[in-house]
Chain A
């Protein structure tokens, strides 16, 4: 028997790993997470000391970002990539030269990122930036542009955090400090949730975000499964879908240290984000062929059945692949034609069979990439990736 208790709090289910046994419980949304967990698993929790309990959570759904940069090819591209890979969801980007005519985001922005220029450049930003920012409702603001402008911006923007430039003097990306800052914000967001705070009553270990835990496990994935490189790992949850990928699948001319990056799709899930998933599916140009392929009609979206859930999960797989394919330019573009393996983890592995996952991936490859060659599908049916990662 293992000596640790592992708990993963999702937006829809929580999973509890007690030794070799993994239980999955549907959350009671009328209860605090801590009360719900204690009610359903009190006998298990009692057996462990606080230092033996490890918890991760993806129940917060991620953060929103507004990035202001001076060019699409460098400052905006670099900051966008770093934000994506820190588990942040991009709300908007503003090209600085168009800032006077840019629309103001109506939602609260968790973090505004300002960047532009190598360190020897100066006087890029002026009053137009301050006028724009006065109209934006944000919680955090960080400057990661040329060092000469840092003082001027600090004097004019309240609570501005200044970090080293993300653009090196050779025009390469320096992601370390901004990535750490954003990852910490993500972490602080999780810890700041009242629901999550209570969980420290049963653990003395830090509570991490689930995407962070999963990402740390990827270099070890071949200890558990036969996965050919390059691969992607897709974690389809109730509120969000995370996609982790080998950096060899990205052709963006960026020199980086990390072997794996990740994207979080905030409103792509099969329970809490069900409506937005259906909306995205209905607006996809292939929706009718997709439904016909699955032998269902649009009426399936109104159903609340096992078949409807399976359909939503298949749609989620299709849509997440579509979003990172060249058919959809908004997100990071992965070279899916080079992909050798797709690892599926999360609740989806308890619902879909291997052949169903293979079928929908095959449909995607045929329709979007026009090929019958498709990657190998691996199902992490026993949450082995999460249970390994959380104790690393």
Chain B
């Protein structure tokens, strides 16, 4: 399966980004890593160009809040995106925040899977379960 990944917005957490790429490759995914400082539009465009199955966006320190709100609007422009799995993970809020509030908020933005302060491998295990369940 093809996965487009990268770090959204003004976020340069390059080490985390590289770890995600390596972990995805180790699990057999074909990875297109857009790196850090990536706009949401670029993620969507990369999914279109590669016909990817999954978009996995990572974010630290609340950057996703400002950069991912328009996911549903962008998804609506491209009918081909209806089968794509949209996943977001990392530290999704600034300061203290409750997971039970954050997860529904980002799901409302258009993400299928949202992981706030969850270990990378746990998140990827959940992704694989989700993929299996959709088949």
Smallest beta-carbon distance A71→chain B, Å: 4
Smallest beta-carbon distance B110→chain A, Å: 18
Would A74 and B41 count as touching, CB distance under 8 A?
Answer: no
Would B78 and A73 count as touching, CB distance under 8 A?
Answer: no
**In the complex, what residues of B have CB within 8 A of residue A116's CB?**
49
Q: Is B132 close to A, CB under 8 A?
A: no
Q: Is B77 close to A, CB under 8 A?
A: yes
Would B78 and A171 count as touching, CB distance under 8 A?
Answer: no
**In the complex, what residues of A have CB within 8 A of residue B51's CB?**
117, 120-121
For A74, A116, A167, A170, the residue with the greatest tally of chain B CB atoms inside 10 Å of its CB is A74
Taking CB atoms and an 8 Å cut-off, the chain A residues in 141-176 that contact chain B are 167, 170-171
Smallest beta-carbon distance A31→chain B, Å: 52
For B44, B45, B49, B77, the residue with the greatest tally of chain A CB atoms inside 10 Å of its CB is B49
Given A170-B32, A171-B32, A171-B34, are A70 and B49 neighbors across the interface (CB < 8 Å)? yes
Q: Is A57 close to B, CB under 8 A?
A: no
Would A73 and B46 count as touching, CB distance under 8 A?
Answer: yes
**In the complex, what residues of B have CB within 8 A of residue A70's CB?**
48-49
For B39, B44, B51, B78, the residue with the greatest tally of chain A CB atoms inside 10 Å of its CB is B51
**In the complex, what residues of B have CB within 8 A of residue A120's CB?**
50-51
**In the complex, what residues of B have CB within 8 A of residue A121's CB?**
49-51
Would B77 and A171 count as touching, CB distance under 8 A?
Answer: no
**Which of the residues A73, A118, A170 comes within 8 Å of B45, measured between beta carbons?**
A73
For A71, A74, A170, the residue with the greatest tally of chain B CB atoms inside 10 Å of its CB is A71
Would B50 and A73 count as touching, CB distance under 8 A?
Answer: no
Q: Name the prevailing secondary structure of the B interface residues.
A: helix
Given A117-B51, A121-B50, are A73 and B32 neighbors across the interface (CB < 8 Å)? no
**In the complex, what residues of B have CB within 8 A of residue A171's CB?**
32, 34, 46, 49-50
Q: Is A276 close to B, CB under 8 A?
A: no
Q: Is B42 close to A, CB under 8 A?
A: yes
Would B77 and A73 count as touching, CB distance under 8 A?
Answer: no
Query: Considering the chains assembled together, what is the distance between the CA atoms of A216 and B97 in angstroms?
Result: 58
**Number of A-B residue pairs having CB atoms within 8 Å of each other in the complex:** 38
Would A74 and B77 count as touching, CB distance under 8 A?
Answer: no
Number of interface residues of B (CB under 8 A): 14
Q: Is A97 close to B, CB under 8 A?
A: yes
Smallest beta-carbon distance B93→chain A, Å: 28
Smallest beta-carbon distance B74→chain A, Å: 11
Q: Is A103 close to B, CB under 8 A?
A: no
Query: Considering the chains assembled together, what is the distance between the CA atoms of A117 and B45 in angstroms?
Result: 10
Would A117 and B49 count as touching, CB distance under 8 A?
Answer: yes
Query: Considering the chains assembled together, what is the distance between the CA atoms of A167 and B45 in angstroms?
Result: 13
Given A97-B77, A97-B78, are A72 and B50 neighbors across the interface (CB < 8 Å)? no
Query: Considering the chains assembled together, what is the distance between the CA atoms of A73 and B39 in angstroms?
Result: 10
Query: Considering the chains assembled together, what is the distance between the CA atoms of A116 and B51 in angstroms?
Result: 11
**In the complex, what residues of B have CB within 8 A of residue A247's CB?**
none
Query: Considering the chains assembled together, what is the distance between the CA atoms of A170 and B46 in angstroms?
Result: 10
Query: Considering the chains assembled together, what is the distance between the CA atoms of A171 and B44 in angstroms?
Result: 13
Query: Considering the chains assembled together, what is the distance between the CA atoms of A118 and B4 in angstroms?
Result: 13
Residue of A nearest to B4 (CB): A171
Taking CB atoms and an 8 Å cut-off, the chain B residues in 26-41 that contact chain A are 32, 34, 39, 41
Taking CB atoms and an 8 Å cut-off, the chain A residues in 38-81 that contact chain B are 70-75
Would A71 and B32 count as touching, CB distance under 8 A?
Answer: no
Query: Considering the chains assembled together, what is the distance between the CA atoms of A72 and B32 in angstroms?
Result: 17
**In the complex, what residues of A have CB within 8 A of residue B45's CB?**
71-74
Given A170-B32, A171-B32, A171-B34, are A71 and B48 neighbors across the interface (CB < 8 Å)? yes
When each residue 106-134 of chain A gets 1 if its CB lies under 8 Å from chain B and 0 otherwise, what string results? 00000000001110110000000000000
Taking CB atoms and an 8 Å cut-off, the chain B residues in 55-72 that contact chain A are none
**In the complex, what residues of B have CB within 8 A of residue A167's CB?**
49
Closest 8 CB pairs of A and B: A71-B45, A73-B45, A121-B51, A73-B42, A74-B49, A71-B48, A118-B50, A74-B45
Q: List 12 A-B contacts (CB under 8 A).
A: A73-B41, A73-B45, A74-B46, A74-B49, A117-B51, A120-B50, A167-B49, A170-B32, A171-B32, A171-B34, A171-B46, A171-B49
**Interface of A toward B, CB cutoff 8 Å:** 70-75, 97, 116-118, 120-121, 167, 170-171
- Identify 11 new A-B residue pairs, CB closer than 8 A, beyond the known A70-B49, A71-B46: A71-B45, A71-B49, A72-B41, A73-B39, A97-B78, A116-B49, A117-B49, A120-B51, A170-B32, A171-B32, A171-B50
